[in-house]
A and B are shown apart, each in its own frame.
Chain A
Amino acid sequence: MPAGCNTDTVTVWENSVYPYPLTNIDPYVTVSNITYVSATETDFTVTIAANAPTEYDAVQIDCHSACGLFNEVRIGASIQPPAPPPPPACTTPAITAVTPDIWIAGKTYNKVTITGSGFTDTQSCPAPQVNMYDVNGSKIPFSNVKVISATEMIARTVAPPTDTPTETACVTVGTRVGPQVVSRFAIVGASATPAPGTAGSPCTDPYGNSGITVQIFSDACKAALATANKKQAAVTRAENAWSVLQTAAEAHDIDPALLAAIGVRETGFVNEPEIGKGHGMGVFQLTNQPGVTAAQAYDLTFAADYAANMLSDNMSYFSNKFPAFTPDQLLQATVAGYNRYRARISGDPNMIDAHTTGNNYGSNVMGLMSCFQQP
C-alpha cells in the first residue's frame, strides 16, 4: 500500500478467478474489522455463511489516502466446504465380569459373555482386542468375539485345552498383544495356587492389559469331583479358606491341597455335622473324642490343624511301616488312613484303598488334589 494510505475497503466478488473480473459481490461473504496495519499489511475479518457454495472469489482491497491517492489490489480466494468434525475420542474398554468364570479343561464353550464398559465396534473405534492368557502366559484358544453393546461382548468359542491344569487365567481387553506362546511368567492377579476370589478378580496380562480372572479346572479335577459326588463350588469354598489351610499345612509339613481335597471329599468343604446318625463334625468330620470338643471340630482353624496333624502322623506311620512305598503310594495310604483305621491298611499297593469308603477314598482324594495344584 502506498505511504499515507489510511482508508481501506475490502470487497469480495463472487465466482471470480484470475484475472479477477468484477462480477457481483458474493452475498455469502461478510467483511468486517478492516484495519490498516502498515504499507504492506491490512487485517480484516471474513465471515462465510454456512450455506456458501464452494467457489473461487476475488478479494479486492482499495486504499484511499487523505491526499487523494488511490490504489487497488485483487487477489484470489477459495471458499471450501466446512471441514468435518473430528471423530469423538474412543472410550477405553474395561472388563468387569466374565460368565461363566469357571471353565473345565477340554470343554468348548459356545457362549462366554464378557461384561464391562466402553465396548465399541465402529470404523473410528474398532472392537476391542480380547486376550485370554493362562497363568503360564499361554494363550487360551478362543474365536469369534462380537460386540453386542457398549457393555457386552460374546465369545462364541472358548476352548481351554484338555491338558490344561487347574489354574486361573486372565481375560483382558487391550491392544497390547504378544506372541502366540510366551515364556512362563506370572500374570498379576492370576495364580496357579488358588487364593481367595481367584475367579472374578482383577488381573493384568503380560502386556499390561487389564481384565478379570477365570478359574480353569483340569479334566482330572472334574473326574474326581464326579467320583466324590461333589460340585465345583466345593473347590471354591476350599479356595476361600486357603490361608487357613496353608497355615495348618505348613505347621505340619503337608501339602495344603491335601487338606483342601479331604475337606471337599468329606463335606464339600461345608462346616456341617453329619446328617442323621453319623458322628463327624465340621469340614474335616472330626469326632468328639479326647482332645476335640464339638466347638473345636466346627472351628475351621482348629479342625484344619487337627486334620493336618493326623495326616502328617499317618505319613510318618506309613513311611516307617512300608518304606518301599513310592511317594504316591505313601500319599494314598496316608489319605486312606484318614478314612479307616490305619493299622489294617495293606502294604500291597493295589489294596491300599480296599475297605475304604467306596473303595476309592485315597485315590479319589489324590484326584481332588488336582483341583488345587500347580502342574
Chain B
Amino acid sequence: MVTALAKLEAKNLACVRGVRALFRDLNFSIEAGRALVVEGANGAGKTSLLRILGGFLAPAAGEIVLSTASGPISEAEERGQHVGWFGHQDGLKPQLTAKENLQFAARLYGSTQDVTALLDWAGISRAADFPTQYLSAGQKKRLSLARLKASGRSLWLLDEPFAALDVAGKKLVEHMLADHCAAGGIAIVATHEHMTLDAAHLTLAGHP
C-alpha cells in the first residue's frame, strides 16, 4: 500500500449515459476500514458509479474526494493509483497460464506478494499451469480475486464479485473483504447478493 486512504467522499454526484440520467445528487462518504454495498436494479447505474469512482468516467456533476491522512486528492489520474479494480470482464489473457496472468499483473502493479501463495489462497493452485482459456468461469473469478489482492491498492471497487462463484468462493470473497477492511482498506461492492459483511448500504433507485 502506497499511502493509506483515510476517507472517500462523493459530493452531489450525477451520471448521465446517453440521454438518460441514471442518478443525481448522490452523496456518501466512507471512512477507512469500512465497506459500502451498492444495490439497485439492473440498469440503475451501479457499474457507471464504480467507473466514475475508478476515474474512468467523468461525473456529469459533482466530485469525488479521496483523502489520505495528509490531505485530499481530487485529481482523477492520481486517484487511480489507489484503486484496485475488479470488473465484469476478467481482463485475463486466454493464452497465458493462470500463473503467468497473475505474475504479469503483480509486476504491472509493482507488487511484491508471492504469486504461488496467492494462487493457493484462491484455491486454484492445481490450475496454475493451465492456459486460462481452459479455466471455468468460477476459476477465472478466483484468479481475478487473487489479482485484486496482489494489487496492494487500498480502495477496492468490485462489480458483481459473486457471479459464477460456488459457496466456498463466495465465502472467500467475504473473508477477503473483511480482511481488507480490517487492514484499513475501503471496499465498494456492487452486488445483488446478501452479504454477512458489516457494511453501509447505498441503493440506486433509478431516476424517476
A and B part of one assembly: no
